[in-house]
Amino acid sequence: MKEKILVVGGTGFIGYHVLKNLSLKKYFLYSLSKNKPKSDRKVKNVKYIFCDIINKKDLKKRLSKNFDHVINLSGYIDHSKKKENELYHYVGSKNLIDIFKLKEIQTFIQIGSSLEYGDLKSPQEEKRKCNPKSWYGSSKLKASKYLEKINEEYKIPYIILRPYQVYGPKQKLNRLIPQTIDSCLKDKSFKCTSGVQKRDFIYIKDFVDLIKKILQFKRIRCEIFNVGSGKPIYVKEVIKKIKTITNSGNPQLGSIKMRKDEIMNLYPSIKKVQKYFNWEPKITISDGLKKTIKSYDER
């Protein structure tokens, strides 16, 4: 019998790819979001539900049916706004948890953030105490803590994933990689920092493949897992790779001052997720960038 999967935030970048890559033979697919998907992010044979997750009464009404798996990818794009981050990353997640704690589900996948750790020394490990420095990181951590607390009484079979820099086709232009690709494809000169920050970039298919593994896992252990490529790289090297692949663009490295609160080294240890789910990221940064550039160039 086909299982039902609810992807909260299914019209976003990651949500779109999750829905697109899940098997219709195995699952009935549902997306929950505040707004309708743009035409290039609409997936066939997905039932779209529209609701604001901070409206608990309406949310409960919309989610009256049972689901086997819930993937919470909901969020708010602008990480600088305290109120909105609190509402959509904590209150909204809390509403979802409160609804599904009373239902029988197989898996609740909460998408957390690497920014829950704050400026802890890299490679960051799940067992270390978090010290977030942003409203976004703080709100995500509150949601994680609430899920852990509720599980003590209601035994929700949850997994918390803390992804680092996920990238790939159809990502909006408000992130480093798509911004750089767009500028290079248009052969622009563009300002950027010196790029000496070290980050971990994971291609979207590797991230989705992990979620697919988790959905098939029968012994869910309520744990937190970092998700990344396991191969940190300097930001300037990513920019240079994009310039080389596109053979255009003029990045002006060092023309923008580094923020005072910039975390210079932010990358994870992924040993725990590799061992537990027998999962390995397969796509190199060079191959991932080529695939992403091709998709933007075709558009």
Which residue ranges does the chain devote to CATH 3.90.25.10? 169-200+230-266+282-298
The dihedrals phi and psi of 245, each to the nearest 5 degrees, come to -65, -45
For residue 73, how many other CB atoms are within 10 A of its CB?
Answer: 23
- Contact (CB, 8 A) for 130 and 224: no
pLDDT value at position 221? 79
The whole-number average pLDDT for the span 210-230 is 92
Looking at CATH, the fold of the domain delimited by 169-200+230-266+282-298 is given as UDP-galactose 4-epimerase; domain 1 (3.90.25)
CA angle 23–24–29, rounded 5-degree value: 100
Q: How confident is the model at residue 296 (pLDDT cuts 50, 70, 90)?
A: confident
As a whole number of angstroms, the distance between CA 40 and CA 47 comes to 16
In the chain the first and final C-alpha atoms are separated, in Å, by: 38
Mapped onto helix, strand or coil, the DSSP state of residue 67 is: coil
As a whole number of angstroms, the distance between CA 170 and CA 295 comes to 8
| pTM given for the model | 0.95
Percentage above 70 pLDDT, the chain: 99
CB-based contacts of 229: which residues, under 8 Å, 6+ apart? 164, 200, 201, 202, 203, 206, 270, 281, 285
Looking at CATH, the fold of the domain delimited by 3-165+201-227 is given as Rossmann fold (3.40.50)
Percentage above 90 pLDDT, the chain: 87
* The CA-based dihedral angle spanning residues 273, 157, 215, 230, taken in that order and rounded to the nearest 10 degrees: -10
As a whole number of angstroms, the distance between CA 146 and CA 155 comes to 13
The whole-number average pLDDT for the span 137-142 is 96
The whole-number average pLDDT for the span 204-218 is 94
Residue 50 CA to its chain's centroid (Å): 20
Cis preceding linkage at 123, omega within 30: yes
Q: How confident is the model at residue 1 (pLDDT cuts 50, 70, 90)?
A: confident
pLDDT value at position 299? 66
CB-based contacts of 171: which residues, under 8 Å, 6+ apart? 13, 177, 178, 204, 292
Which tokens in the block code for residue 205?
A: 């298919």
pLDDT value at position 37? 92
Which residue ranges does the chain devote to CATH 3.40.50.720? 3-165+201-227
Helical ranges in 169-259 per DSSP H: 176-185, 204-216, 235-246
Tell me the per-residue pLDDT of 29-46, one tens digit each, with 9 for 90 and over: 999 999 999 888 999 999
Q: Taken in order 281, 283, 284, 285, is the CA torsion positive or negative?
A: negative
- Contact (CB, 8 A) for 91 and 103: no
